[in-house]
Amino acid sequence: MPHAFDEMSSTDGAVRPAYETLQRWLAEVPQDVLDHRRKEAEFIFRRIGITFAVYGEQNAQERLIPFDIVPRILTKDEWTRLSRGLEQRVKALNMYIKDVYSKREILKAGIVPENLVYQNPAFRPEMNGQRVPHDLYVHIAGIDIVRTDPDKFYVLEDNARTPSGVSYMLENREIMLRLFPELFSMHRVAPVENYADDLLATLRSLSPHGGHEPNVVILTPGIHNSAYYEHSFLADKLGVDLVEGRDLFVKDAVVYMRTTEGPKRVDVIYRRLDDDFLDPLAFRRDSVLGVPGLMSAYQAGNVTLTNAVGTGVADDKAVYSYMPDIIKFYLGEEPLLPNVPTWRCREADHLKYVLEHLPELVVKEVHGSGGYGMLVGPASDKAQIEKFRDKLKADPANFIAQPTLALSTCPTLVEKGIAPRHVDLRPFILSGSDKVRIVPGGLTRVAMKEGSLVVNSSQGGGTKDTWVLDA
Amino acid sequence: MRIRIRHEITQRFEPGTRNMAVTVRMTPRAHEGQFILRWALDLNSDCRLHPQEDAFGNLCHTFSVDGPADHLTVCAEGEIETQDTTGIVRGTVERFPPSLFLRQTDLTEVDAALAALAADIEAPADDPLAQLHALMVKVHETVEEQDGPTLADPLSAAEAVKAGTACAGSIAHVFTAAARHLGLPARHISGYVVPEDGEEGEGEARHWAEAHVPKIGWVSFDAGRNICGTENYVRLAVGLDAVGVQALRSTGLDVEERISALDGRAPQKLAQAQSQGQN
């Protein structure tokens, strides 16, 4: 595997300018002080109860995501470039989804194959021909970014359904401010605290009708959901009601919330519930988490759902591989942020190449997430590769493959002191009817195991505070 | 043929239920060979009907029962004039290209037995119409239709093949699942059928399938009875499976349906309604 780019020290050992102050500080502070602070951070996380349930674990108990106290630093220039690319990408995603559910120009032009849309489990026929308020579908996007050298950022994945993780971004910053005030006084770090205001402004701007102050609620599947903490955290930060399906009802195609003062009309629902469960009259009949009749209110244009129903048609890994063409088609622009080169195993010649080069590739399931069911060629033994080969041959259309990227590393506090660990970045892009808002930074995920490239929290990854320097 | 239809559904709720949302798909659309002479929906409850069109172009109505109520009765009644089109369905409202109907659902998932069934038909692969006819025969031989319609809770295609007997809707699942598996777009149809001349029995609600044949268009296949649609068939709604065309969707308790479909030319018999329960 090629040598990974370290964001703090260049290959010649020199410290990159953005990290100079941090590096000096790290060199001066004794290890036991750092260890102590890390314990303190863990203690705070436990006390505030920010936990995360891992599906498939035996007692599925809530656990803490490891937090690394060494911040990741991006310069203002780097961030400006990134945010332009993110804005472009989300704009194209929105146009693509609108098109797929209305005129289907991109299918007629033969740019995206029909079956990738119509046979896509995330495609919702119910959304066909349906206008959504302000023609926006993906109001809250999480775009995963990786870096391989000082200048190259790639998009690794688009999350257009209900991306999570923003509560970690906010909590991480709060804890860093508490534990390391001196570090903040040495740097000019762009704030992330206004995310809640930005989100609320975005949600309000999406109201289907003007006139009165829109009533915004957050719809959660309930306390057993792995991201419940985040749902309640956001409701708290935004000052809006956190509701479950049974708290809402639909009357004459309008959504109401049951309150002690009688029914209250709901205009915007930030739903953290999958499409399948939203409305037992339109989707899964057995869903008890949703609101019966919600889709009829949505269809009548009386409520905004964020994100819109059926956005998953734009964010699976097979569609991802078409994103550069999608951007060119709708915007007539070259993508500012490139894709990682991707082989689509559904295509015979791509599949042939992938089968020949399995040991050097990363192979992922088209609809997989959380780092489950993937093959990291260079990190797998022969038996694992052969087993995966059979799986791949059995259902090629279900897989894509990418080269094993040397993800950049960042200094991270581990048992033996400070050592480089691989990282990625998930910025959150908010698209309102008025403008696009992006809080500087995002959630940096770090693979805590030496050499590991899997940063997913379900696979033992941790998080870091992400700093965008203002100067 | 002139066909008179009366379709009554009673949905029971927990006593005292308020604000119950309901969607009904009980209004047929006209197309070549099917003309709506008159059609009306009636509710026992005082509420506003919101007419909507679903993604497939079916005419739906949504409404909410204020309550407190322990049941709701919806009744659709009307008269339809039909003509025989040898099973070819033209002039329908189409919101999707045929390729959408290659999409499988939870109820049409193909398992090994179904794949084997689809592979077993004897027809040239370049003649989709022959393939579909062969498939209809095959499905008809494999799954026997049970007495009495049970449209409410049909089996999945795989379950129906395993069981060997199933209702018309489940048999339609077997047909659509296998056709899609063979790369032939197929869809699920709800409607009514009256007995052929000289045939015993009463009219009933029924599900069947349609498949798309290039250059011809959509053709109806009723694998339960091993025939293509005739003038005795009235087409109500189209979807990907039985749940997608369900006449009434709500979250109440059990449902009772009373349906009569009569040959309107015949001297008026006493409408003998058939009843069926569902959970």
pLDDT in tens, chain B (279 residues): 999 999 999 999 888 888 889 999 999 999 999 999 999 999 988 888 999 999 999 999 999 988 788 899 999 999 999 999 999 999 999 999 999 999 999 999 999 999 999 999 989 989 999 999 999 999 999 999 986 555 567 899 999 999 999 999 999 999 999 999 999 999 999 999 998 776 777 788 999 999 999 999 999 999 999 999 999 999 999 999 999 999 999 988 888 888 888 887 765 544 444 444 444
* CB < 8 Å to B96, chain A: 118, 125, 128
pLDDT, one tens digit per residue, over A163-220 is: 988 999 999 999 999 999 999 999 999 999 999 999 999 999 999 987 788 999 999 9
- Higher pLDDT: A471 or A428? It is A428
Return the pLDDT at A53.
55
More confident residue, A56 or A153: A153
Shortest alpha-carbon distance between residue B197 and chain A (Å): 38
Dump pLDDT digits (tens) for A57-78: 444 456 678 899 999 999 999 9
Q: Starting from the edge strand earliest in sequence, which strands make up the sheet with B34-43, in order?
A: B34-43, B69-82, B2-17, B255-263, B274-278
Q: Do B64 and A127 touch (CB under 8 A)?
A: no
Q: Which residues of A239-267 are buried (b: 16+ CB within 10 A; e: fewer)?
A: ebbbbbbebbbbbbbbbbbeeeeeeeebb
A260/A60: higher pLDDT: A260
CB contact under 8 A, A128 and B64: no
Q: Chains A, B: CB contacts under 8 A, how many?
A: 74
Fold for the domain defined by B2-82+246-278:
Immunoglobulin-like (2.60.40)
User: For residue range A93-137, what is the model confidence (pLDDT) as tens digits?
Assistant: 999 999 999 999 999 999 999 989 999 999 999 999 999 999 999
Look at A292 and B20 and tell me if their CB atoms are within 8 Å. Answer: yes
Burial class (CB in 10 A: 0-12, 13-18, 19+), A332: exposed
The residue ranking higher by pLDDT, B276 or A447, is A447
B250 touches chain A (CB under 8 A): yes
Quote the pLDDT of residue B17: 83
Nearest to B19 among A129, A251, A300 (CB): A251
Q: How far apart are CA B229 and CA A60, in angstroms?
A: 53
**For residue range A363-408, what is the model confidence (pLDDT) as tens digits?**
988 876 666 778 888 888 899 999 999 999 998 988 999 998 889 9
Answer whether A88's CB lies under 8 Å from A338's CB: no
Pick the CATH number of B88-244 from 3.40.605.10, 3.40.50.460, 3.90.45.10, 3.10.620.30: 3.10.620.30
Give me the amino acid identity at A364.
K
Q: How far is B132 from chain A (nearest CA, A)?
A: 21
Q: Is B64 on the interface with A (CB under 8 A)?
A: yes
Q: Which residue of A has its CA nearest to B244?
A: A282
Average the pLDDT over A294-320 and give the result.
94
Is B100 in CB contact (< 8 Å) with chain A?
yes
Of B21, B96, B243, Cβ closest to residue A292: B21
Provide the pLDDT for residue A59. Answer: 47
Shortest Cα distance, chain A CAs vs residue B271, angstroms: 31
User: How many other C-beta atoms lie within 10 A of the C-beta of residue B144?
Assistant: 12
Spatial distance between the Cα atoms of A364 and B174, rounded to a whole number of angstroms: 32
- Yes or no, beta carbons of B99 and A280 under 8 Å apart: no
pLDDT band at A227 (very low <50, low <70, confident <90, very high): confident
Are A280 and A287 in contact by the 8 Å Cβ rule? The answer is yes
Contact between B128 and B186 (Cβ < 8 Å): no
* Contact assessment for residue A109 and residue A329, using Cβ atoms and an 8 Å cutoff: yes
Q: Which residue did the predictor score with more confidence, A246 or B271?
A: A246
- Using a CB-CB cut-off of 8 Å, the residues of chain B touching A259 are none
Question: Alpha-carbon torsion A64, A65, A69, A71, what sign?
Answer: negative
Nearest C-alpha neighbor of A281 from the set B96, B62, B8, B71: B62
- What is the dihedral angle through the alpha carbons of A312, A314, A318, A322, rounded to the nearest 10 degrees? 180
More confident of the two residues B19 and A343: A343
pTM above 0.80, yes or no: yes
> How far is the alpha carbon of B123 from chain A, nearest alpha carbon, in Å?
25
**Residue A62: per-residue pLDDT:** 60
Q: What's the confidence (pLDDT) of residue B147?
A: 67
Q: Do B48 and A252 touch (CB under 8 A)?
A: yes
What's the CA gap between A418 and A8, in Å, rounded?
Answer: 12
Which pLDDT score is estimated for A6?
92
Interface contact flag, B52 A300, Cβ < 8 Å:
yes
Q: Map residue A20 onto helix, strand or coil.
A: helix
| Confidence at residue A73, expressed as pLDDT on a 0 to 100 scale | 96
Separation CA A404–CA A360 (nearest Å): 6
Domain positions in chain B are: 2-82+246-278, 88-244
Identical fold between B2-82+246-278 and B88-244: no
User: Which residues of A lie closer than 8 Å to B, measured between beta carbons?
Assistant: 114-115, 118-119, 123, 125-130, 249-253, 280-282, 285, 292-293, 296, 299-300
Q: How far is CA A416 from the centre of its chain?
A: 31
Partners of residue B177 in chain A, C-beta under 8 Å: none
**10 Å Cβ neighbour count for B121?**
19
Pairing of β B20-27 and β B34-43: unpaired
* Other Cβ atoms within 10 Å of A452 Cβ, number: 17
Q: Are A250 and B251 an interchain contact pair (Cβ–Cβ within 8 Å)? A: no
Q: Which of B48, B102, B249 sits opposite A281 (nearest CB)?
A: B249
ipTM rounded to 2 decimals: 0.88
Which chain A residues are Cβ-neighbours of B56 within 8 angstroms?
A: 125
- Do residue B250 and residue A119 have CB atoms under 8 angstroms apart? no
The neighbouring-strand residues paired with A411 are A420
Collapsed DSSP state (helix, strand, coil) of residue A383? helix
One-letter amino acid identity for B163? A
Instruction: Collect all residues of chain A within an 8 Å Cβ-Cβ radius of residue B243.
Output: 285
